[in-house]
Amino acid sequence: MIKKFQESYTKPKTKGGENMNKISKIFFLFFVATFLIAGSANAALIGIDRDTYPDIYSDTSGHYSYISATDEFKVNAYAQTIVYFDGGIANFIYNGSYLAQFKVDHSGDFMSGIPDATDLVIRGSLTQNGPVVDLLTGEMFNFGWNWDSDNKIIQFDYVFNITGGSLADLFGGVGNNGGSFSYAEVPSFNGWEKDNSGSKVKTDTFPTPEPGTLLLLGTGLAGLAFYRRRRK
């Protein structure tokens, strides 16, 4: 687009016209850059690492909904299995349920958790006749999304702070971060200014540090290595 704009541009003969055209070009390029940056920020997954274990899987009979009037985003699914390590045998979750709920603004950005409610609750029993308990609970603090118009799939990922559940220690313990990835089949997606929903939702939930945390950790280690080198 920029190349075509430049090729079609005719250089003015006057100095005043040349200056005006330079200003126009600057505004045009600024508009394009702003549009691209805003678009990518509001329509991108967080990019959390999903190759971590244990991993709780939910089947594809779930549902997601978004109510624009209240900004409430919700995912309901059925917790089905937990895999403790890569290649390990899955443990079936009996009477399992999955609920994620929080607030998203009309740009698709995370706002907050739900007041007086737990943002993430995964329940079930690891034995056939055992009691149904909270397996993992948490409070959300980050959210990303992506609409794949070619395959008619919308994807979500979100990060939460672990607050409890019988499996909390396996996920790093209370206070550690967990992540969830969900996707749903939808015929169309009209943005976050309108109500929207989808079915056949599948989720998986895993322990994960947020990318920013990894970056800070890496920066800290690099700084420590530099400090030690300077002392030597």
Three-state SS string over 167-224 comes to CHHHHCCCCCEEEEEEEEECCCCCCCCCCEEEEEEEEEEEECCCHHHHHHHHHHHHHH
Question: Alpha-carbon torsion 52, 58, 62, 67, what sign?
Answer: negative
Strands 72-77 and 110-113: unpaired
Instruction: With a cut of 60, say whether residue 18 has pLDDT above it.
Output: no
The predicted structure's pLDDT at residue 20: 46
Average pLDDT for 188-210: 90
Q: What separation in angstroms does the CA of 231 have from each of 37, 218, 220, 224?
A: 42, 20, 17, 11
Residue that has been written with the tokens 């698709």 in this structure: 108
Q: How confident is the model at residue 86 (pLDDT cuts 50, 70, 90)?
A: confident
Residues shown for the chain: 232
Instruction: With a cut of 80, say whether residue 70 has pLDDT above it.
Output: yes
Cβ atoms 55, 202 nearer than 8 A: no
The predicted structure's pLDDT at residue 43: 62
- Per-residue H/E/C for 107-131: CCCEEEECCCCCCEEEEEECCCCCC
Strands 94-104 and 79-83: unpaired
DSSP-based three-state secondary structure for 155:
strand
Burial call 154-193: b when 16+ CB within 10 Å, e when fewer: bebbbbbbbbebebbebbeeeebbbbbbbbbebeebeebe
DSSP-based three-state secondary structure for 134:
strand
pLDDT tens per residue across span 99-128: 999 999 999 999 999 999 999 999 999 999
The predicted structure's pLDDT at residue 61: 86
Average pLDDT for 76-82: 95
pLDDT tens per residue across span 169-197: 999 999 999 999 999 989 999 899 999 99
Respond yes or no on whether the N-terminal peptide bond of residue 207 is cis (omega within 30° of 0). Answer: no
Cβ neighbours, 10 Å, residue 109: 15
